[in-house]
Amino acid sequence: MKKVLFTATVDSHIKQFHIPYLKWFKEQGYEVHVATNGEETIPYCDVKHNISFERSPFKINNLKAIKQLKEVIEKENFNIIHCHTPMGSVVTRLAAKKYRKKNKTKVIYTAHGFHFYKGAPIHNWLIYYPVEKSLSKYTDCIITINEEDYELAKKHLKAKKIELVHGVGVDKNKFNFVMTENEKKALQKEFGIKKDDFVIIYAAELSKRKNQGMLMKAVKELNENGIKNIKVLLPGLDSMNGYYQKLSKELEIEDNIKFLGYREDIPKLMKISDVAVSTSKQEGLPVNIMEAMFSNLPVIATNCRGNRDIIKDNQNGYLVEIGDISKLKESIHALLKNKENTEKNTDYIKKYELNNIIKEMENIYNSEI
């Protein structure tokens, strides 16, 4: 029986992004293996390997993880290994290096956004770029998900093939449903949303990179201009230890900001929102923006890698420069005055549909490298 191995640092990455691909391999008759640092049950996974991956490149456990994964790869003789996450991919490619020739194993790496990019801190280039360049020699195919990474990889990396795939795919059926007025009112009541409120959603982990503070400062300025009927929904885990909650108090906008924590009902939250915003400093290819577009929401996003792959300014949304709070405020105000003030290009987002991405990946999995 043919075998495939998916690797990532943690279970959540596989569960959030790759279940449809595990399912595809099962349907093709593969025995599906997953290796992560975790013990969760993974759908469509036949064999789960708990490997001592660490997210930090400076953790000694990653050396242990290389040894553990070598033993797994030698025993199982995989046809395909598909690795994800920065350290997951480093460990996997080091562990699989000799088996590419010995067992003719195809090693694929999806870069969900290189840590080195235009405008990245210099230490990112010093640490991650040399490692990626070195390991690319042991990679049969590097998959990039945005134009900037694709052009960089073609120019500087040495994998046998470099491919551009339009993200991990969005299941449009999750957003193709009708909420009753009673369901909407119940959800609005839960968050204290009134009839005349203008609702902004930014579905993302609370983090420095996601840069929620920029949005909060724009809301503060709108308040000062007499526009107080704004509610901001911030569903997402908090990796900032309450920093943004403190900032909302300092800015005196606690009534405007709703910190929702982790939510599994993002499609429903989109249904009660008027506009989606992303103030991120950099992205791979942002799922939250794609989901907003599949929900038929107008989008305001920062002009950064990943965001600008999806949003074209004044065509299917607004782009604002990172840190330009005044332009962000103006864009929100324009949509508040006219909720249909941006044209939603539904044809444009078809290429991000899950079924289309699966076809792109199918071609890569079945290709001779």
Query: Roughly what angle, to the nearest 10 degrees, separates helices 61-76 and 86-96?
Result: 50
Residues 89 and 109 in one domain: yes
Q: Over the stretch 62-120, which tens digit does the pLDDT of each residue have?
A: 999 999 999 999 999 999 999 999 999 999 999 999 999 888 999 999 999 999 998 88
Task: Please state the pTM of the whole predicted model.
Answer: 0.90
Which CATH number characterizes residue 137's domain?
3.40.50.2000
Amino acid residing at 342: T
- Shared domain for 83 and 70, answered yes or no, is yes
Q: Does one domain contain both 239 and 162?
A: no
pLDDT, residue 315, reads: 87
- Residues 298 and 245 placed together within one structural domain of the fold: yes
Predicted confidence band of residue 339 (pLDDT cuts 50, 70, 90)? low
Same domain, 187 and 151: no
Residue 144 sits at φ, ψ, to 5 deg, of -110, 160
What is the sign of the dihedral through the CA atoms of 61, 62, 63 and 69? Answer: positive
Are both 292 and 362 inside the same structural domain? no
Both 285 and 248 in one domain: the answer is yes
150/246 same-domain check: no
What range does the domain containing 275 cover? 172-351
**Mind listing the pLDDT tens digit for each residue in 25-36?**
999 999 999 999
Closest to 40 measured CA to CA, from 20, 12, 81: 12
Residues 163 and 83 in one domain: yes
Whether 342 has a pLDDT exceeding 50, the answer reads no
User: How would you class 260 by CB atoms within 10 Å of its CB: exposed for 0-12, middle for 13-18, buried for 19 or more?
Assistant: middle
Note whether 187 and 155 are same-domain residues.
no
Q: Which amino acid would we find at residue 286?
A: P
For residue range 232-269, what is the model confidence (pLDDT) as tens digits? Answer: 999 999 999 999 999 999 999 999 999 999 999 999 99
Per the structure, the count of domains in the chain is 2
152 and 180 share a domain?
no
Strand order in the sheet with 230-235: 257-261, 230-235, 198-201, 275-278, 299-302, 318-320
The torsion angle over the Cα atoms of residues 287, 292, 293 and 295, rounded to 10 degrees, is 130
The chain-wide mean pLDDT, for the chain, equals 94
75: CB partners within 8 A, 6+ apart: none
> DSSP code of 233?
E
